[in-house]
Amino acid sequence: MSRLLVFIRHHLAGSGMLVALLLLCVFFSIATWTWQYPQNAAAAKDVATQIAPHAKVLIVVRPTAADSAFAKALSTELGSRAEIVQGEPKDARAALLRAAKAGGLNVIACNRATASWLVFSDLASDFPALKDTRVVQPRAQAWPVFLKTDNLLNIANQIAVIAILAIGMTLVIITGGIDLSVGSLIALSAVITTMIVRDFCEGSNAGAAGMFAAGLGGIALCGACGLVSGAFITRLRMPPFIVTLAMMLVGSGLAYRLAENQSIYQVPDSFVRLGRGSDLLGLPNAVVLMLLLYAAAHIVMTQTRLGRNLYAVGGNVEAAHLSGVPVQRVILIAYILCGLLAGLGGVVTASLLKSGSPTYGQMYELYVIAAVVVGGTSLSGGRGTMPGTLIGAFIIAVIQNGMNLTNVESNTQKIVLGLVILGAVLVDRVRK
């Protein structure tokens, strides 16, 4: 009976976090509901349906990548009937003068931005030969900015590094510890990785093997930092808070010293593939990596002896020791894994920003701890799940993204995030 109650309480808690995430998405969807004027291929099709067959069309767009794609798609839809003018209002005016001399136009196809140009405001007066010419633009669509595909992918991409770090933090907190050094280890890993690429792998001409080796170097160093922290905690019985606070300062100082207070940019263009690439179904590679790591971590925590031992140590150290669990080894492994994952987060950050800098990762330890706590992991140890941590990371990301979209100032955002963390801790205490 007690097992059944524990199972029900556990799954209700997980469902509650998921419901909270969905409610946040609904709230910010309503808050950001607005009229939008698309500029993609679908917008080109919409404009094409408003143009009669055999009409003579002038497509007017700005010299931007998005406008070029819109013009190309619309030209494909209309065929040889369309002439494209890409530039500024003066270029549009010159094209209108030519069209007026050549016998007129039926339609001027624009996007939302070019349709508002003053050159099109009074065609009858400025260009009498074009008095019957229509200006056509994509029809407005009511849709939440929050639910736009680009914004959703942006949320996932931005939270990927924090979510990766949160895996290691979950392992540590489940054992009853904490690691404040993960933000500094991100900077250290990014600096070491880009330094190896610059100094030992031909810099901007580095190959895939060199970049892979450099990434392993950054990850390995951070794993060693986790090993040192874990050794001080297990062998010398020092408080995790003090040890990892000291490691945070050491990691940050090393990053600044090695980089000589500068950013390192001498990396090849292909270096950004991990952080910015999208090789699987349009999903960012960093997000795919994050999901794979969470799947692996969930299996470890639910199906392996290490996972059971982590929960046992966090639940009751003495009972775990008497049961034959190698307590010190388990805690040491948790801190090593946390360091390795922080190093991986640094590599992803360096790839995303195409550089290494000692300023990376500032305040990340707070966001990571917030994601873990909001995800239902108990700060006293012994309880927590990987799916819960992932949901917690997305809750933090959705709150931040939604506040940005609704123009909430940064200071207010910090207040809200602090209240969220306090609320999560309060819920944890009430549940206990």
At 103, give phi and psi (nearest 5°): 120, 0
Burial class of residue 1, CB neighbours in 10 A (0-12, 13-18, 19+): exposed
DSSP letter (8 states) at residue 280? B
Residue 194: CB atoms within 10 A of its CB come to: 31
pTM over 0.75: yes
User: Considering only CA atoms, which of 236, 212, 229 is closest in space to residue 168?
Assistant: 229
Cα separations in angstroms, 373 against 41, 296, 418: 42, 21, 12
Domains along the chain with CATH numbers: 2-31+147-431 (1.10.3470), 41-139 (3.40.50.2300)
Question: pLDDT tens track of the chain, all 432 residues?
Answer: 455 444 445 544 556 788 888 998 999 999 989 887 777 777 888 888 888 887 889 999 999 888 888 888 888 888 766 888 999 999 999 999 998 888 778 899 998 889 889 999 888 888 888 888 999 988 888 888 898 888 888 888 889 999 999 999 999 999 999 999 999 999 999 999 999 999 998 888 888 899 999 999 999 999 999 999 999 999 998 999 999 999 999 999 999 999 999 999 999 988 999 888 888 877 889 999 999 999 999 999 999 999 999 999 998 888 988 888 999 999 999 999 999 999 999 999 999 999 999 999 888 998 899 899 988 888 888 888 999 999 999 999 999 999 999 988 888 888 888 888 888 778 777 766
